[in-house]
A and B are shown apart, each in its own frame.
Chain A
Amino acid sequence: MSEPEDEVKLPARHLDEMTCLLYIDRQLDRARGLEVSAHAADCANCRTLLRALERESRLMTRSMLEEDEPLPSRLAAFQEQARKSMQWIWGLVFGLAATGVYALYEGYVQPWQQKLDEAGFGGSNLLSLMIFQGAFWKGWQSMLTLIEVLALVTVGLFCAAYFRRRIRRGSALALVVAGLCGAFAVPAPVAASELRHADTITIAKSEKIKGDLFVTAGRCRIDGDVDGDVFAFCQAVDVNGHVTGDVIGFAQSIHVSGVVDGNIRVGCNNLTLSGTLGKNVLAFGDSLRIDSDAKAGGSATVFGGTTSIDGTVGRDILSFAGLLSINGAVGGNLKAKGETLAIGPTAKIQGSSEFEGKKAPEVAAEAKLGSPVKFTKTERKPEYRSGHYYVWQVIWGAAFVLFGLVLFVLMPEFSRQATRSAERIGASLGLGVLVGCGLPIAALIACVTVVGLFLGLSTFFLWYASLYFAQIIVGALLGQWLMGRTDELWPRIGRMIVGLLLARLCFLIPHVGGWLKFGVIIWGIGAISLALYRRMQPVVAAGIPPMASPMPPAAPIGGMQPA
């Protein structure tokens, strides 16, 4: 901090502005005040300054006192009588929002759903449709490019946010940017692996790759040998050669007609195995087929829409498939859960067979089974009649409390604001209907476009998380109503726990509980949205930034200044 004398530029032998201000604000002692009066009587310049400052004070007072805005209706509604008369507005908002969402569903979502159903993509296959169908996006290559760009942008934004408040000089900023560029430019450590990235990749029959192979491409064909694992992120993968390790892939279709010594672990729309597999297959997909001339040495674990096993599986089969059809040989046990199980005449199952589903399995008389199929029919009975239901409710309650605890500790200010927003019940419910129903629709629309897939899925996951957060916020408000308001963190957490457990108890009420839960979720989502909206409002008006503390005495107090 520099000396005051250096800071103020004054003409010779006039009153400084600070003295004048203290004089008109009557903050000078009597003797000093008389000195200023005497000087002002003789000095026209200082008299003008005193008058200007006084007029400035009056102008400010007048400007601030003027009633330029009427009292907001929300404040007028603070009085009980007025508040009652305003209730219908929220009812109207709520009704309009619900009508809007219903119209949106009837007009856009339902027709789309019907079209998708007609095209063979039922609701259960929607994830598969979004992630693996090439009709809606170009494939993993473009996806990876998008993820790379997003990752870099995210890193850039983090760096900018982190260094923004620490760096104000251009040279320092340049140093940081140069450092980051240098860090990105450092070559990656050399590994015994090969990375290929192109539209179409073909490993020729004569080609031999030592080590693991990482492939991102539109189409990948492996006719040669890979002495290691294959990691493929492609639209279509064909393995016709020999892979000594595992095949791990995400693709629209994967076809293995060659030899894989290790395992196959894939997530895809169609998997066809017609070659030889040394170990196990684990597959998530819509359609999975093990051809009649295919051999899998280990077990098969499949999660899919339609699974057909015509070849040989050396060990057990564990299946969670809509339709499972077996016409091949199974060396171990069969355990399946799904809609339908069909065991054909050429099937041979050495171990036991268990099936849990809605319909009894269709077993051909010629099929050779180690033991008859043990069938358990899936029955739906009211959940609340079983003891397990209550055990799970306790576990869920504890999980909620833990989740709430973490959120309140990590985001104390935001959770406080969200709880406060929840006090505005009408606004929260209205906004909750819009956001709670509109956000997943928006996410879905984003998902079916190429560019918006990442954004859409992120939005969807955020929305899903908010379903839980919403209950915590409303729980916190209920606790506050029961135990009184507080601004301290731990008492607020205590109130949140009490309110949350109470709300979850109410959710257990048969028939009504579900609706209560729905209402609470809508209410909470609205409160969160309201708090987020408030948070995004400008903090301080543009222009001069706010002052920091403490304020240094940059201008001197008292006395005429020498030239």
Chain B
Amino acid sequence: MSAPGISEPTEAIAKARAGDPEAWGTLFHDYAPAMFRFCRRALPTREDAEDATMEIFIKLRRNLGQYDSTRSFSAWLYKVAANHCWDILRRRKVRQDKETEDVENVPLEHPDPSALDKMIEERSSDEVRKALEKLGARARMALVMRYYSDMSYDEIADELGVRRQFVGVVLLRARHELRKALEGTAALTAGGRA
């Protein structure tokens, strides 16, 4: 689990910890794009993602001393980012919780494997990103943590504040939401073409 194409920046971390602004600049340069993308996928608007990325790096600079260098730097960074983004979403969604109870209790339909396989075959990355934007906060956050930053079920449970055995359910429901959104995107595309 690391930012694409980047090996562990042990030396830069050590220098940044010692207060070297150049090293800090290197860390920012190497990890900011991946962090921004993470925030962009997890948060509703581009402005939110920009703000969150800045705040994550401010936090990072302050808390770099707490980083355990025996562990993966990227994993730690994603954990900080996930924590920050989920904090933002959780604060905002308190007032929306009541509205979503019904959605939570809708039983999941078992998919038709062939139809599902066909749908996935036909969808582009762009469509998936658009569909992702339509998901609820928890669903999107769960998918981003799992499939963008490759976080484990334990880490996801920790971040979302659910029991570990519910993480699978959260992810499965999120996938169902995504498929529904993808169907909507496809319908829109078809309509547009017509």
Contacts and interface: CB of A to CB of B under 8 A. Distances in A.
B17 interface: no
Interface residues on B, range: 35 or more
Contacts of A48: 113-114, 117
Contacts of A181: none
Given A539-B44, A545-B100, A71 B36 contact: yes
A544 B177 contact: yes
Given A21-B172, A59-B120, A68-B129, A550 B138 contact: no
A60 interface: yes
B149 to A, nearest CB: 9
Say what secondary structure dominates the interface of chain B. Answer: helix
Contacts of B116: 49, 52-53, 56
Interface string B92-126: 11011111111111111111011011001101011
A22 B163 CA distance: 15
A76 to B, nearest CB: 8
Interface stretch (A90-98, A129-137, A519-527, A551-559): A551-559
Contacts of B139: 544, 546-547
A16 B110 CA distance: 7
A97 B103 CA distance: 48
Interface string B6-37: 00000000000000010001001100110011
A162 to B, nearest CB: 12
A369 B129 CA distance: 89
A63 B129 contact: yes
A25 B153 contact: yes
Given A7-B107, A16-B110, A25-B153, A64 B37 contact: yes
Contact of B133 (A55, A72, A537, A541): A541
B138 A547 contact: yes
Interface residues of A, number: 69
Contacts of A25: 146, 153, 168, 171
B107 A8 contact: yes
B100 A548 contact: yes
Contacts of A537: 44-45, 47-48
Interface in A484-537: 534, 537
A22 to B, nearest CB: 5
Interface in B169-192: 169-173, 175, 177-178, 180-181, 184
Nearest to B21: A80
A546 B134 CA distance: 10
B41 A46 contact: no
5 contacts: A1-B105, A59-B123, A544-B139, A544-B177, A551-B170
Interface of A: 1-2, 6-11, 14, 16-18, 21-22, 25, 27, 45-46, 48-49, 51-53, 55-57, 59-69, 71-72, 74-75, 78-80, 165-166, 168, 413, 534, 537-555, 557
